[in-house]
Structure 1
Amino acid sequence: MKNETPRIFYTLLIGLAFISGFVYFNWDNFIDLTNNSRNFLESHPGQMIPFDKFLNYIENGDIKKVDLYENGEIVVFDLFSSATKKLQHVGVKIPIRNSSLILKLREYRIDFTAYPAVSFDSAWSIVSVLLIPVLLVVVYQLFFSEGSNYDFFGNLRKARAKIQLDANTGVSFNDVAGIDEAKQEFEEFVSFLKMPQLFTAVGANPPKGVIIVGPPGTGKTLLAKAIAGEAGVPFISISGSEFVEMFVGIGASRVRDLFETAERNSPCILFIDEIDAIGRQRGTGVGGTNDEREQTLNQILTEMDGFKPTSGIIVIAATNRADVLDSALLRPGRFDRQITVYLPDIYGRIEILKVHSRDKNIDSKTSLKFIAQRTAGFSGADLANILNEAAILTARANLETITIKQIYTAIERIIAGLEGVLLNDSRNKRLVAYHEVGHALAGTLLKNHDDVQKVTLIPRGRAQGLTWFTPDEQPLMTRGQLSSRLIGTLGGRAAEKVIFGKMEITSGASNDFFKVNSLARQMVTRFGMSSLTPMAMDLPKPSIFFGRRLQTRPDCFLDVADQIDMQIIEIVEDGFDKACTILERNRLLLDQLATLLTQVETIDGKEFEQFVSSYTGLPKQTKLEPLSV
């Protein structure tokens, strides 16, 4: 425990300084307080005279001089007594405060002196007395309390980095899965930290820094810790937002302190998370805050130029916005390499699930392959969250092992939200059933559509029912696949029109229309899948600068915007007509599936496919090869 004596001493010293200043600036008021009229009234109550008698003394010329107190409410004067032949100190209280007394004194040429009010009635005295304790507490908390960042020894300018000096972060490459390409890149850094002579012997300088770019939750921080753990060196981490402060020059000072800390602990890994908070392009903002951020960035650039490549310091930064970083930050000699970490594919998700299931009591019949197939587009953090939610559901149900049921429930809960109350109204339930079966049936009867995973009437989030598809993870999407997705998405509204007519369509397809509009626009403007010129025609949105609307797109694109909208409308209308045609041709099957869903409330994908195949032929699908786990 730190010695508190210096802090107590400094606190008392500051407190005495405040009290001394208060007494110094109010000393005259303290003197007045000892001589004011209130003390006279208390100590000489018998020498007070009536106000009428006081006026007679003025008119008779018996008073030569008076003293006014309390804004003219109390008058004290000397009066000659004929009985004692001496001057008496006499007082009078003025009943009504007005200016007539002053005029009367001037009329009879009587000298008068006005004194200020009592010191503790003044605003400054009251504020001073109230502020002194508050200031003492604030000063103590800011400068002397435990853990304060504002003290006389410069803690404000120190970087609040987390330093792990035991050379064991508890994370190795075995704990990082799904990003094998990035792991291979970083093995070179581990070799440099362990055996730098291998590089220096041939005159090679290892990279000073590397930027890891990837979506949130893909394991950027975990990968940096694994490098330090594999190399057995200290791990120093800090967030980019911790350099931002309201005081001028603090960010640059913290950068200098951070690199000094790294030099004292070299060889080491210096990790800066969310570097885009301070590494944005310079000259793009207005105001002092932007200038301070740019000074912090300039200091980082200077520090990275200052240390030698052989010093044993490797700077690793992480961001998911590499497009906004300043070009000077990415040039060779600073952050030499940029490694992109993508969302894991199905094989990567299986390996990630293996890592996160080590400490979970998962049932032996549970297949990680099926979990990976249902979690397309999930990051490593999402997969860890799924297993944790499944474990919570298992404990809530008083079960001993985590089964596939809890895992599937956790997936649906994370994607769609909490489970709601099932509809009791038979009419609305029938409407939702036709809507969801329309999605599933249209998708099943399309050649290039994803397989149906489950159709359910159980509400989740804002959705009254859900149709789940197993996405096909192919690196490239054909026009046929995109069109099939668009038609399947419109299958819900098409079923409502086919069964109930135009006047009975519902608002349940609102979210489907947003997806369809986005997909059709990408097909036209990004993928070149329209009758227009096959080129990218993403029209940038007009920007707002100081309240003025600035047109940033070329004039040649202004004429094309209407043609793009017409192409989007044509694609959507064509997809809706095809969805209606598919469901009209299979009207009997649509009715039977909707009736079955109303009764059982949930239909599994395999069961749904078997039911459809018993009535009509299924299109040939391109299936994925079975996985070997």
Structure 2
Amino acid sequence: MVLLGGVIVLPMLIGARSPLITVRPEHIEVGLDTIKGLDPQVDEVVRSINVFLGYATFREVLGGNPRRGILFEGPPGTGKTFMAKAMAKQAGVPFMFVSAPAFQSPFYGMTNVKVRSFFKELRKSARKNGGAIGFIEEIDAIGTTRGGLSMSPAPAGLERSVSDSISEGSSGIVNELLIQMQSFDQPPLRQRLKEKVLQWISTYLPEGKALKSGRPAYHNILLIGATNRADSLDPALLRPGRFDRRLYFDLPTKQLRRDLIDFFMDRKSHHIQLDEEIVRDRLAQDTFGYTPVMIEHLFDEALLVALRSGRDGMSLSDIYEAKLNEEVGLRQVTSYTTEERNAVATHEAGHATAAHILGTTRRLEVLSIIKRRASLGLLAHTDLEEKYTKSKTELEAMLAIALGGLAAEELFFGESGTGPGSDLAYATEVAAMMVGALGMGGSLLSYEAVDDGAVNSKNLVGRVLSDPEAKSRVEAILHDQKQRILGVLNDNRDMVMALRDALVERDELVGEEIIEVIRGSLARRPSLVPVEA
């Protein structure tokens, strides 16, 4: 029985330990001075650290309540954990890291015990070191909104829809987290026992002679939570006194990406071409939407491409090869039939011709008939300048470019094949957005305003296409752009053929190589000589 009890109890005792990892400030390699691309966030963090370090003045002299919790929110890879470590190093206090899923336990109630254990260690470290910074990664794993039954109104003829939005035990975990965040200044066990003894003795003393216990010591603690799903957190976690400051980590702008590129390039072996200002500016432009982690990973992958080619430093072509590998997929050795190779090349040449003529704000990056994942070929093109909005004209140009492959197949072969499938899906999505959300399809109604319910899809395309009138407007937009691009390609058959032939011969064209083929086709056009009367 004793052995059986040990087998049952021992795992529970071990499982009740806090899963935190403590890192001393002297062991943290990163500091605020090494953070690039997060200037606004660094400024706010510095202000928070100043209050954290000067808590005595802020609290005792000014009468303020120091900030105890900060929520870092934003997409993955934007530097939230990196920033928290740098804060701990800057403040010179221990960094106590834990991933929220590590709190989970198969034993009932042990998750709450782990949460209490984490905060106990946090208070202990703060007393010993004059302060501590706790960091809970993916806090949404234990801090999701508590709730009961959520009910949505049902249309006539349908029964009411009821869904249970709470998972078993999650409410108790959130409650425990809320309690602990209100108990930063809970005294240690020894002091609590002392207070109990003083209270017991005071019961035997005359009125007014009761022994007074000391004021609870202030624990200088800063708790940081990180999540990319802040909207799922329980509102009680976000009220003042808990995570009362939310700091959003957005994707870096072009200038901040340029700073990151300079920072990483200084630390990685590269060809001298990558030191040119124009090249680095181009890389900053072409990494739109990349996080700091993604940019560094891109360069690491480019180094691997260079090493496989027997070189000890990455080049610009290595970076773009790595970019294609990451975004589209690895090259696949595929043996096309002669007819299929010609068809794929014609399809991609149609896209490229459309992008060159109609996409006046676009830059052609890569044109390829090399198979990557499910794609038999591709045209990669980006904005000439970083933009966050698009006009109706630009969206129509994007539709025409997307339909360029289908139009080229019909123009040169009399019919299209299965290649345009993904192009049509993209074009339908853009056209549906124009009609159903942007007021560009003859109606100012927005389908985004429709509440989610029993029969309402969250998908904008689904909402638009389920409306016969809106669907007809989408169809009209797509048809108009198809006719438009058919005319453009018919007027520029020589350009399509030149790009097609270059692809058949070389498989892939990058950057200036595409433009050179286009220039060559234009140079071969006969010049118009005026006829004398």
- Residue in structure 2 matched with residue 264 of structure 1 by the alignment: 124
- Residue in structure 2 matched with residue 515 of structure 1 by the alignment: 426
SS at match of 2:381: strand
Of the three residues 484, 497, 500, the one matched with 2:397 is 484
Determine the C-alpha separation between the residues in 2 that align with 1:479 and 1:500.
Answer: 31
SS at match of 1:508: coil
- 1:212–1:340 contact (8 Å) kept in structure 2: yes
Pick which of 223-232 and 473-482 moved more. 473-482
- Residue in structure 2 matched with residue 128 of structure 1 by the alignment: none
Deviation per residue, 1:304-347 (Å, 9 max, x gap): 12225963211111111111111111111111111111111222
- 1:168–1:228 contact (8 Å) kept in structure 2: no
Instruction: Output the TM-score relative to the length of structure 1.
Output: 0.69
1:221 to partner: Cα distance: 0.9
**Unpaired stretches in structure 1, ≥5 consecutive residues:** 1-12, 16-134, 145-149, 544-548, 618-629
Determine the C-alpha separation between the residues in 2 that align with 1:336 and 1:356.
Answer: 34
Of the three residues 577, 590, 594, the one matched with 2:500 is 594
SS at match of 2:63: coil
- Check 1:392–1:611 CA distance in 2 against 1; reply closer, same or farther (3 A cut): closer
- Residue in structure 2 matched with residue 345 of structure 1 by the alignment: 253
Determine the C-alpha separation between the residues in 2 that align with 1:236 and 1:519.
Answer: 46
Determine the C-alpha separation between the residues in 2 that align with 1:560 and 1:600.
Answer: 45
- Residue in structure 1 matched with residue 174 of structure 2 by the alignment: 297
SS at match of 2:98: strand
- 2:498–2:521 contact (8 Å) kept in structure 1: no
Determine the C-alpha separation between the residues in 1 that align with 2:494 and 2:376.
Answer: 24
SS at match of 1:318: strand
- Residue in structure 2 matched with residue 412 of structure 1 by the alignment: 324
- Residue in structure 2 matched with residue 162 of structure 1 by the alignment: 21
SS at match of 2:375: coil
1:511 to partner: Cα distance: 1.4
Determine the C-alpha separation between the residues in 2 that align with 1:345 and 1:277.
Answer: 30
Deviation per residue, 1:545-571 (Å, 9 max, x gap): xxxx79999xxx999833332222222
- Check 1:434–1:539 CA distance in 2 against 1; reply closer, same or farther (3 A cut): farther
Determine the C-alpha separation between the residues in 2 that align with 1:358 and 1:552.
Answer: 46
Matched to 1:179, the amino acid is L
- 2:366–2:509 contact (8 Å) kept in structure 1: yes
The 5 A counterparts of 1:321-400 are 321-366=229-274, 367-400=279-312
1:417 to partner: Cα distance: 0.8
Matched to 1:258, the amino acid is F
1:414 to partner: Cα distance: 0.7
Matched to 1:498, the amino acid is L
Determine the C-alpha separation between the residues in 2 that align with 1:378 and 1:326.
Answer: 30
- Residue in structure 1 matched with residue 68 of structure 2 by the alignment: 208
1:424 to partner: Cα distance: 4.4
- The question of 1:178 aligning with 2:84 is answered no
Matched to 2:371, the amino acid is P
Pick which of 157-166 and 315-324 moved more. 157-166
SS at match of 2:81: helix
Determine the C-alpha separation between the residues in 2 that align with 1:559 and 1:172.
Answer: 52
**Unpaired stretches in structure 2, ≥5 consecutive residues:** 150-162, 186-216, 524-533
- Residue in structure 2 matched with residue 575 of structure 1 by the alignment: 481
Matched to 1:512, the amino acid is D
SS at match of 1:335: coil
1:500 to partner: Cα distance: 1.0
Matched to 2:389, the amino acid is L
The 5 A counterparts of 1:53-452 are 150=11, 154-200=13-59, 201-266=61-126, 267-284=131-148, 290-307=167-184, 311-366=219-274, 367-452=279-364
Pick which of 266-275 and 447-456 moved more. 447-456
- Check 1:486–1:551 CA distance in 2 against 1; reply closer, same or farther (3 A cut): closer
- Residue in structure 2 matched with residue 526 of structure 1 by the alignment: 437
Determine the C-alpha separation between the residues in 2 that align with 1:413 and 1:237.
Answer: 33
Query: Taking CA–CA contacts closer than 8 Å with sequence separation of 6 or more, which of the two structures ends up with the larger relative contact order?
Result: 2
1:526 to partner: Cα distance: 2.5
- Check 1:560–1:386 CA distance in 2 against 1; reply closer, same or farther (3 A cut): closer
Matched to 1:322, the amino acid is A
Same amino acid, percent of matched pairs: 27
- Count of matched residue pairs: 466
SS at match of 1:498: helix
- 2:432–2:465 contact (8 Å) kept in structure 1: no
SS at match of 1:537: helix
